[in-house]
Amino acid sequence: MAERLRLGDMLVVAGMVTEEQVQEALAAQRSTGQRLGETLVRLGYVTEGQMTQVLSNQLSIPWVNLYHVDFSRELLGLVSAEVAERQCLVPVYVRHVRRQGDTLYVAMEDPLNVAAMQEVADGSGLPVKPMVASPTDIKNAIRVYYLGLPPMRETEEPAAEPAVDAPPAPVAEPVAVAPSAPPAPPAPADAPAPEPPAVTPSVPPPAARPGPGFLTLTLLDGTQVKLPSARQAAAPKAEDRLTTRDLVHALVARAEGKDVRDILPEDSWEPLVAALLSLLLRKGLIADWEFVDEWNKQRKKAE
């Protein structure tokens, strides 16, 4: 309850809710079992975006827009689907941190949940640092990348211009994008805002990831990428599907002359191009006549 009260206190200090509304939410929480933040959103006292910005500003924890994260199957393999669902979190990236080594940054609904970070650290064998993201965005990422399901909603909340007198919330590097939610009011000057230390593994790290079913490819620039093989003995699970980042790596490797048939069979490339073209046309990024005209030009050059 102490951590829930901390969130309530932060929202009160930020002027988002009143003490009475926090107490009402705490009372309702006892019957629903929901987190305090979820209860306040359900009661209509705050939005997810406001809650995310308050957490980011008050705790100096970077927020991240998950729509701009390059998820790969190698990255997703660091956190199991069961842990991601139960703790409402997703891995964002691995970065080298001074005096700490490779560190896994995780977007969390509740960045104060040390037990959840410890579970991820123990499972991945890496130190873990928290980031803040919208709970709905986290759940959508879990549905799409772990469970192979469509997202709960199709469109992202439009970005809002930050208030002139509001200090910018720390933004996850290297995702340099505008926030998808209104920024919170500035924190009081005397409010403590230490960045939480990384949670380190308390058990020996597991076997090297990714495990069987992955292939390692070295690109011309020396970059090594690990992609899931499509040729597995058993039918591939939803969590073994290629992500967009995986497909980009496979395309680059194929252009460099690598054999990627174990990652994506030869008969998959035409449907892949057709899917990309359909998406570009549907979003209005190219016009039908433009593509046909360019296609005819390329055909004539090839003749």
pTM: 0.70
In degrees, rounded to 5, the angle at the alpha carbon of residue 130 between the alpha carbons of residues 56 and 51 is 30
Handedness of CA 17, 21, 27, 29 (dihedral sign): negative
HEC string of the chain equals CHHHHHHHHHHHHCCCCCHHHHHHHHHHHHHHCCCHHHHHHHCCCCCHHHHHHHHHHHHCCCECCHHHCCCCHHHHCCCCHHHHHHHCEEEEEEEEECCCEEEEEEEECCCCCHHHHHHHHHHHCCCEEEEECCHHHHHHHHHHHHCCCCCCCCCCCCCCCCCCCCCCCCECCCCCCCCCCCCCCCCCCCCCCCCCCCECCCCCCCCCCCCCCEEEEECCCCCEEEEECCCCCCCCCHHHCCCHHHHHHHHHHHHCCCCCCCCCCHHHHHHHHHHHHHHHHHCCCCCHHHHHHHHHHHHHHHC
Predicted pLDDT at 122: 95
Predicted pLDDT at 109: 85
**Cβ(76)–Cβ(107) below 8 Å:** no
Predicted pLDDT at 197: 65
Predicted pLDDT at 170: 44
Among residues 265, 258, 195, the alpha carbon closest in space to that of 224 is found at 258
pLDDT tens series, the chain, 303 aa: 444 447 788 888 888 899 999 999 999 988 887 778 888 888 999 998 888 888 888 788 899 999 888 899 889 999 999 999 999 999 999 999 888 899 999 999 888 889 999 999 999 999 999 999 988 999 999 999 998 888 875 444 433 333 333 334 444 443 333 333 444 444 444 444 445 668 888 866 554 454 457 778 788 888 787 887 765 544 455 445 788 888 888 888 888 888 888 888 888 888 888 888 888 888 888 888 888 888 888 888 877
Sequence ranges of the domains in the chain: 2-46, 60-160+167-186+195-206, 214-302
In CATH, which of 3.40.50.2300, 3.30.300.160, 1.10.3720.10, 3.30.70.3460 is domain 60-160+167-186+195-206? 3.30.300.160
Predicted pLDDT at 196: 62
Predicted pLDDT at 20: 93
Predicted pLDDT at 130: 94
